[in-house]
Amino acid sequence: MARIHANGIDIEYEEFGPKTGTPILLIMGLGAQLTRWPLEFIEILTSLGYRVIRYDNRDVGLSQKFDSAGPADVVKMMTEMALGKKPSVAYTLEDMANDAAGLLDALRIDKAHIVGASLGGAIGQLVAANHPAKTLSFTSIMSSTGNSALPPPKPEAIAVLLNRPPAGDVEATIEFGVKAYKTIGSPGYPTDEKEIRRRVTVDFKRSNYPAGFSRQMAAALVNGDRRAALKRIKAPTVVIHGTDDPLVPVEGGRDTAANIAGAALIEIPGMGHDVPAPLYSRIADAIESVAKRARVGVSQAMPK
């Protein structure tokens, strides 16, 4: 593990694979630590010769926290937005995208393949749109566009975002994490509950910071519709989405692909809102395929 100063903040990151390999930057989602990118998945990418970097977004894990801003009142924000008001936030998704670009600068990396999952996909969209010179290719996993006309999350999925236990209740937090994982995970590729509990416990011991989760959610809420930004993306792109995702329905992936020129869309039956072990190789293959398109300068979509 290492910490580096980038875009004016301290960011925790880890590197894998050869220093001489073409970089892949992995961006994780809402409130999720870098540990949510499984080592077994990373090993597949490094076996292909890539230099893989995963990091904690601001306000999560071991990266810099924004304590002085206080927790965000997400329910109040949603009410204000329904009334046409724009709430103030501690930072924006653009700031988080600039963190990713700044991390590459701090590591003296000119360009990288950008891979984002869930909210990390939204951040990756803004990296690809706003920092095109740094983006070799873009892979979006289980993300969306911010288009308000798209289907909402299922009620049980949104409940696991909003009904979080108090920070000090260790047992309740771990039980909540297990329930959340099982609620939004892949029905066609279920993860053993003992493994889920192990992962949740490891993450809890590494860092548990609900205030950061709330501020990240606030940044996502006020970001709004990104379709105009998506139309600026020129890098070869692949969009991966599970057809059984209860948190970000597959229509979000379809809308993402429809608004990025030449983007390929891969829909995976049985996949929910996680990256299950049986799909590591398939997702890595998709990243490798779009990376190959970048190497040969092909912008058109891969065959569906």
CA–CA dist 233, 127 (Å, integer) = 9
Q: Would you say 235 and 129 are in contact if contact means Cβ atoms under 8 Å apart?
A: no
Q: Do the Cβ atoms of 93 and 220 come closer than 8 Å?
A: yes
Domain assignment present for 71:
yes
Task: Count how many domains the chain has.
Answer: 1
Quick count: other Cβ atoms within 10 Å of Cβ 240? Answer: 28
Q: Largest Cα–Cα distance of the chain, in whole Å?
A: 52
Residue 291, domain CATH: 3.40.50.1820
269 is a domain residue: yes
Residue 304: inside a domain? no
In a domain, 303, yes or no: no
Instruction: Tell me which residue of 103, 97, 96, 95 sits closest to 12, measured CA to CA.
Output: 103
The predicted pLDDT at position 13 comes to: 98
pLDDT score for 75: 86
Q: Which residues pair with 241 in a beta bridge?
A: 267
**Could you give the dihedral angle defined by the CA atoms of residues 76, 82, 87 and 92, in that order, rounded to the nearest 10 degrees?**
110
In a domain, 47, yes or no: yes
Asked whether 105 and 99 are in contact (CB, 8 A), the reply is no
Residue 26 lies in a domain: yes
> What is the arrangement of strands in the sheet containing 51-55, beginning at the earlier edge strand?
2-6, 9-16, 51-55, 23-27, 112-117, 135-141, 237-242, 264-268
pLDDT at 302: 43
**pLDDT of the chain, 304 residues: tens digit per residue:** 799 999 999 999 999 999 999 999 999 999 999 999 999 999 999 999 999 999 999 999 999 999 999 999 988 998 888 888 889 999 999 999 999 999 999 999 999 999 999 999 999 999 999 999 999 999 999 999 999 999 999 999 988 877 777 767 788 889 999 999 999 999 999 999 999 999 999 999 999 999 999 999 999 999 999 999 999 999 999 999 999 999 999 999 999 999 999 999 999 999 999 999 999 999 999 999 999 999 887 544 444 4
**In this structure, are residues 225 and 135 in contact, taking their beta carbons and an 8 Å threshold?**
no
Task: Compute the distance between CA of residue 169 and CA of residue 35 in angstroms, rounded to an integer.
Answer: 22
- pLDDT at position 299 is 46
The predicted model scores a pTM of: 0.95
| Total residue length of the chain | 304
Domain encompassing residue 165: 2-296
Residue 301 lies in a domain: no
- Asked if residue 209 belongs to a domain, the reply is yes
